[in-house]
Structure 1
Amino acid sequence: MPYCTNCGGQVKDIHHYCGACGQTLSDIAESETDPPMAVDREGFLSLRSLSYVNNLLNGEQDLDRDSVSYTQLSREVSAAFADFARLAMIKDLDLLQLWAAGSSSEGLNTPVEDMSSNQFRDWLAAIGLSRTLRMYDESLHTGFEDDFNERLQKLLEIAGEELDS
């Protein structure tokens, strides 16, 4: 049985799209302008992992380290860390500036229910950055999050001053 080149999920020879991530798997799928399984989302999690995470958050499922969904999530997180390792090897690349270049700070002050999809994505990215640091601290028993938050606040003040001038 073949595997998806995007997420590694198992697929059958007859499939035109990956059922886990929506990746096109055939020339027929690539030629379609409006594919039946169009996946319009950004991020490194496949739809399968995203569904698993949402079920965990909603309390509909318990964290099960022996499940296929957990294994898939683990693979995707490992791949994301590998991608960040590649980014970290680029000299002078500032990850915060890279993120800020694609984000809009005005959306962060908008109530969630009034946000556009781009503003919501930016808001989730800001929350995700903070929560990633918290998970890092909890996993390694460090205090990096507090130090980072102080530095981030200084960076935001500098950026605000530059925008005002």
Structure 2
Amino acid sequence: MPYCSNCGSRVKDIHHYCGSCGQALSKVAESETDPPMAVSRDGFLSLRSLSYINGLLSGERELDRDSVSYMQLSREVNAALEDFARLAMVEELDLLQLWAAGLSSEALSTPVEDMNSNQVRDWLAAIGLGRTLRMYDESLHTEFEDEFNERLQKLVEIAGEELDDIGDE
């Protein structure tokens, strides 16, 4: 297994960049105009993939399935799906409850411009949950998003009633 010439971290022959310092490790990587940043963060996407996605969203880039950025994004999404498969194997683990357990109660009711960084993360997670369902429906030609939204609305109503009951005590 080779090592990064910049920081000495172990890397695999298939890697185009060092995962520790972001050093280009291949001719393909050296030709890219948007090198990755080596910064740790929450979430499964690297800053390189986030930069690629932001470029797609802003129209500055086009979807290029042959680019290093696309290949890295693909690997990261596959790794995330593997993690979700592991979560799904845990009996009685409710993904919605798991997500809600870490949710700030005021995050979704605060105007975006007034949110702190934790509230922005909670807000993005809520959007991500909904958009993931939409991507699922679009990819598999299903209508699960509508069913999920109905179930979520019922859960919100039940939670509201329970909070009212606690407040009346």
TM-score normalized with structure 1 length: 0.79
1-structure distance, mates of 2:115, 2:106 = 10
3-state SS of the aligned residue for 2:73? helix
Matched, 1:112 2:112: yes
**Any gaps of 5 or more consecutive residues in structure 1?**
21-36
Q: CA deviation at 1:160?
A: 2.1
Corresponding residue of 2:58: 58
What's 2:49 paired with?
49
Q: Is the 8 A contact 1:4 1:10 kept in 2?
A: no
Equivalent pair of 1:4/1:18 in contact (CA under 8 Å)? no
Structure 2 residue aligned with 1:121: 121
Distance in 2, matches of 1:54 and 1:42, equals 17
Letter in 2 for 1:147: E
- Partners of 2:135 and 2:160 lie apart in 1 by 28
Q: Write the letter of the residue equivalent to 2:39.
A: V
Alignment of structure 1 residues 67-106 onto 2, 5 Å: 67-106=67-106
Give RMSD over aligned pairs: 2.2
How far off its partner does 1:18 sit? Answer: 3.4
Q: CA deviation at 1:38?
A: 7.2
For 1:132-151, what per-residue CA distance to the aligned partner results, in whole angstroms no more than 9, with x for missing partners?
Answer: 00010001111111001000
State the Cα distance separating 1:109 from its structure 2 match: 1.0
Between Structure 1 and Structure 2, how many residues are aligned? 144
Could you say which structure has the larger radius of gyration? 2
Measure how far apart 1:163 and its partner are: 2.8
SS at match of 1:72: helix
- The equivalences for 1:144-163 within 5 A come to 144-163=144-163
CA contact (8 A) 2:16 2:68 kept: no
Partners of 2:38 and 2:71 in 1: CA distance: 24
Q: Which residue of 2 aligns with 1:19?
A: 22
TM-score normalised to structure 2 length = 0.77
**CA contact under 8 A between 1:9 and 1:18: conserved in structure 2?**
no
The 2-side partners of 1:42 and 1:51 are apart by 15
Q: Sequence identity, in percent?
A: 74
- Report how far residue 112 of structure 1 moved: 0.7
Separation (CA, whole Å) in 2 of partners of 1:117 and 1:61: 27
1:41 deviation in Å? Answer: 2.6
| Shift, 1:162, TM fit | 2.3
1:14-42 residue CA offsets vs partner (Å, 9 max, x unmatched): x9x2328xxxxxxxxxxxxxxxx773531
